[in-house]
A = this chain, B = another copy of it.
């Protein structure tokens, strides 16, 4: 899921490499996300308790996913996605104890929703995730939307991740993930990146004095992104909560919407003429990107936050969506 690994003010409990995003079902629930941010988390619950009483815990977990400006922006994006693509998607088939989950100590809650594309659609899946994890000096909140396409098209996938490590700072990753070697395919750059003027969106957010380039510590993750990827940290300094809020509702909302619109207009619903050899090469590349991103992100980090039981269930579901086997 191509996530920043060291973007947050490091709390003792979560090492710099331990941050991972989990899925954002909550952002489709306006009721839930409007609850107070610091609502107490349940203590002493174990993951087996969660499994034994899935429905009540799902509500409890959702209730404790705090409202944040970045989640409201993600909610609006998800609504746009479902308005445009809803008819092409199957209902969610994620089990209840993965749709929403907590860690044993009740200090971390996550939600995951995956909707596969219908057979006639070029959508492989839409994955949404949200994660809220208390740490000694605050919390980490991560919200993601991934829309992956299948092998009927070579159009880029859509990737959005917001990672908020303090009230006044966050990391933003927004990209149309290429599915071909760009140096070998200048025409692909032209079609999906040049002609769509995608780079203007990156420029819009980078012109803010509060943004700095964000570079993943994983060279693979950097290599998988496009040359127009938005990958920035936004830091509004101590007491800058309201400035960040303004940026999130203003610049960030506009840029994220802009990138999604380009993807919806230029990539969704496409099919591409390819030879079988080209298609096989693309599928092979896709598989490596999918496997490697799960490995970099999730298998390395999720167990530290949710324990091995919960994280195994969640990772298994994400592997299923990504169509990759355990390494």
Select from chain B the residue with minimum beta-carbon distance to A194.
B219
Minimum C-beta distance from A137 to chain B (A): 26
Chain B proximity mask over A160-178: 1 for CB below 8 Å, otherwise 0: 0000000000000000001
Chain B proximity mask over A184-202: 1 for CB below 8 Å, otherwise 0: 1010010001100001000
Query: Which residues on the B side are within 8 Å of A193 (C-beta)?
Result: 219
Does A227 count as interface, using CB distance less than 8 angstroms?
yes
Chain B proximity mask over A126-167: 1 for CB below 8 Å, otherwise 0: 000000000000000000000000000000000000000000
Contact A285 B181 (CB under 8 A): yes
Contact A228 B224 (CB under 8 A): no
A184 and B181 contact, Cβ closer than 8 Å, known pairs A189-B223, A223-B189, A223-B227: yes
Residue in contact with A228 in the complex, picked from B181, B199, B219, CB distance below 8 Å = B219
The main secondary structure of chain A at its interface with chain B is helix
Contact A183 B289 (CB under 8 A): yes
Cα A288 to Cα B288 with chains together (Å): 24
Does A300 count as interface, using CB distance less than 8 angstroms?
no
- Name A94-143 residues within 8 Å CB distance of B: none
Contact B227 A182 (CB under 8 A): no
Select from chain B the residue with minimum beta-carbon distance to A224.
B183
Cα A224 to Cα B186 with chains together (Å): 10
Does A213 count as interface, using CB distance less than 8 angstroms?
yes
Contact B284 A184 (CB under 8 A): yes
Contact B223 A219 (CB under 8 A): no
Contact A183 B219 (CB under 8 A): no
Residue among A178, A193, A227, A289 with the most chain B CB within 10 A?
Answer: A227
Q: What count of chain A residues pass the 8 Å CB interface test?
A: 24
Residue among A181, A182, A189 with the most chain B CB within 10 A?
Answer: A181
Cα A20 to Cα B181 with chains together (Å): 26
Query: Which residues on the B side are within 8 Å of A285 (C-beta)?
Result: 181, 183-184
Query: Which residues on the B side are within 8 Å of A194 (C-beta)?
Result: 219
Minimum C-beta distance from A115 to chain B (A): 26
Contact A199 B213 (CB under 8 A): no
Residue among A182, A183, A184, A186 with the most chain B CB within 10 A?
Answer: A183
Does A292 count as interface, using CB distance less than 8 angstroms?
yes
Does A34 count as interface, using CB distance less than 8 angstroms?
no
Cα A263 to Cα B227 with chains together (Å): 24
Select from chain B the residue with minimum beta-carbon distance to A182.
B223
Contact A186 B288 (CB under 8 A): yes
Does A222 count as interface, using CB distance less than 8 angstroms?
yes
Contact A183 B213 (CB under 8 A): no
Does A220 count as interface, using CB distance less than 8 angstroms?
yes
Cα A226 to Cα B219 with chains together (Å): 9
Query: Which residues on the B side are within 8 Å of A227 (C-beta)?
Result: 219, 222-223
Contact B220 A182 (CB under 8 A): yes
Cα A223 to Cα B188 with chains together (Å): 11
Q: List residues of A whose CB falls within 8 A of some B CB.
A: 178, 181-184, 186, 189, 193-194, 199, 213, 219-220, 222-224, 226-228, 284-285, 288-289, 292
New contact pairs (5) apart from A178-B183, A186-B288, CB-CB < 8 Å:
A181-B184, A182-B219, A183-B289, A186-B220, A222-B227
